[in-house]
Amino acid sequence: MITDSKAVNVIHNPVLPGFNPDPCIIRVGEIYYIAVSSFEWLPGIRVYQSDNLAEWEYCTDILTDQIDLRGNPKNCSIWAPQLSFHDGLFYLLYTDVKSTKRPFKDCHNYLITASSIHGPWSEPVYLNSSGFDPSLFHDDDGRKWLLNALWDYRITEGNKSSGIVIQEYDQTERRLTGKPRKLFDCTPLKKTEAPHIYKRSGYYYLITAEGGTGSGHAVTVARSSELLGEYEVDPLNPMLTSRGNPELALQCAGHGSLVETPSGEWYMAHLCTRPLEGQYAILGRETALQQVYWNDEGWLRLTAGGSSPKTEVPLPGGAALKGTGSLDFRDEFDCPALKPQWNTLRILPDESWCSLKQRPGYLRITAGESVQSLFRHHIAAVRQTSPSFRAETALEYEPAMYLQMAGLMLYLNEDNYWYAYVSHEEEWGKVLRLMRCERDEFTVEPYRISVPEGGPVQLAVDVTGVMGQYYYRIQAEGEWLTLGGSQHLGFLSGGFTGNFIGIAAHDMNQFGGSYADFAYFRYQARD
């Protein structure tokens, strides 16, 4: 459960703290669902659920063995899911991005369906690759239409998103039909993406994201009396944005989607960031909610007025809070399967490398390729969900050489990480060391700490805002000792994801040639 214990009759933002970007919100009966992007982390497309819009809990992950992410570069893979429900069926659209190397984008759009949010989901239907952020609109006449951002490599300056394209989808044939048509050009904000269409009071409303996913991000609204246009832009555009207001607690507001409550109230889910020291979005892009309404002219407006995102918004009428949530997480590895908070990179966990059975009461991670591998990086990690926290683990590992290592890691991507690890070095034996990669500049700290063979090592990391410190101890009840000095963690900010805290094992001598047994993992959030 994700909540805020101080909440009284309000929704506290962000409702999904930590790396939870590109939200798509829907309601089915009395239950609300939000699906978010996963990028290179698996399982893919995390879904949360709520019955009051304020308190959210894990529901399911949708993408598992339908996809192959091995080798995909950082910030690629699974982008911007769109979830809808029509005639008793859930529809899920997503993009699998294989490359973003300019001037092109290799981004493949797919559709899967299920009668239950928990699946089973159908085999993916390939749709197109002309752009990203696919969205399916179900019109009243039974026809279905695919929208997506259109990428134009011929644009010579700036972002190459050239607007929104639409094409009909034939559900019987399970394919696109007819020709794609340009539906909407960019406004002066440019970088148009994330389209959703909602039909209300005789108008088709097109909700898009513009301005890029950074500080200029925004929600643009346009409408037309005909599905295929033309579309009139909101005269007060942008409808929601943080641009030009660096003092706001929620930055980068954009990428919105709408939901109506049973009593007729409207809310918008959108992504945001909470930069530490005004510039380091270490937690990544998060999900917030704003209450909105339709004014007399038929345009969408924030209930609170203006266009700036608020950290507190009203609860829906009649909603009640339970107040039972916590951002803390612990796993004693005494369950038959990994808890759903865990994530892995580009490959799913299985018995070949991530086992709870080989030594009951422990998670055995068989060592994979290097920390920078795009194929077999054997790491299990959880999202950082609070600006300050402490994470702790204990591992048993007996490396035979310096090419073997296992430990505790802060990880943004293969170019940005900080790793406390157990290894083995000539003339030293079993040692503790630190390595760091900062914006693709790699450093191994010069000192080593000898630790006894044949016993467990406990590792912890304590993070307060942008500063972090590793600790270790050998005796279970002994004193925690500092491992190296404190570090500024600003390099764990940037890109499309957020910081993760992971336990991992690597063997560059022979992947699969060693293993580490982890006794527990604990994450404790702090205010």
Mean pLDDT of 509-525: 96
Identified catalytic residue from 4, 193, 234, 507: 193
The pLDDT value recorded for residue 8 is 65
* Mean pLDDT of the chain, nearest integer: 96
What would you report as the CA-atom Rg of the chain, rounded to the nearest whole angstrom? Answer: 24
| Residue percentage of the chain with pLDDT more than 70 | 98
pLDDT tens for 462-475 read: 999 999 999 999 98
Distance CA 93, CA 196 (A): 12
Helix/strand/coil percent split, the chain, to 5 = 0, 50, 50
Instruction: Give 216's pLDDT tier (boundaries 50, 70, 90).
Output: very high
Instruction: Give 3's pLDDT tier (boundaries 50, 70, 90).
Output: very low
Instruction: Give 246's pLDDT tier (boundaries 50, 70, 90).
Output: very high
**CATH 2.115.10.20 residue spans of the chain:** 10-314
Distance CA 371, CA 504 (A): 9
How far is CA 303 from each of CA 295, 320, 499, rounded to the nearest angstrom? 10, 20, 33
- How many other C-beta atoms are found inside a 10 Å radius of the C-beta of residue 214? 15
Q: Is CATH 2.60.40.10 the right assignment for the domain spanning 329-526?
A: no
What length does the chain have?
527
The pLDDT value recorded for residue 7 is 46
Of 2.115.10.20, 3.40.190.10, 1.10.579.10, 2.40.50.140, the CATH number of 10-314 is 2.115.10.20
Mean pLDDT of 298-312: 98
The pLDDT value recorded for residue 219 is 98
Instruction: Give 9's pLDDT tier (boundaries 50, 70, 90).
Output: confident
Instruction: Give 453's pLDDT tier (boundaries 50, 70, 90).
Output: very high
pLDDT tens for 26-42 read: 999 999 999 999 999 99
The pLDDT value recorded for residue 324 is 67
pLDDT tens for 310-338 read: 999 999 988 888 886 789 999 999 999 99
Dihedral, CA of residue 309, residue 311, residue 317 and residue 320, to nearest 10: 150
Distance CA 316, CA 465 (A): 33
pLDDT tens for 391-435 read: 999 999 999 999 999 999 999 999 999 999 999 999 999 999 999
Concatenate the DSSP letters of all residues of 336-378 into one string: SS--TT-EEESS---TTTEESSSSTTSEEEE-BS-TT-SS---
Identified catalytic residue from 22, 265, 331, 462: 22
Instruction: Say whether 193 is catalytic.
Output: yes
Instruction: Give 1's pLDDT tier (boundaries 50, 70, 90).
Output: very low
- Is pLDDT above 70 for 6? no
Helices (H) and strands (E) in the chain, counts: 0, 40
The pLDDT value recorded for residue 315 is 96
The pLDDT value recorded for residue 476 is 79
- Is pLDDT above 50 for 68? yes
Cβ-contact 325, 311 below 8 angstroms: no
Q: Which amino acid is at 396?
A: E
The pLDDT value recorded for residue 272 is 98
The pLDDT value recorded for residue 158 is 79
**CATH 2.60.120.200 residue spans of the chain:** 329-526
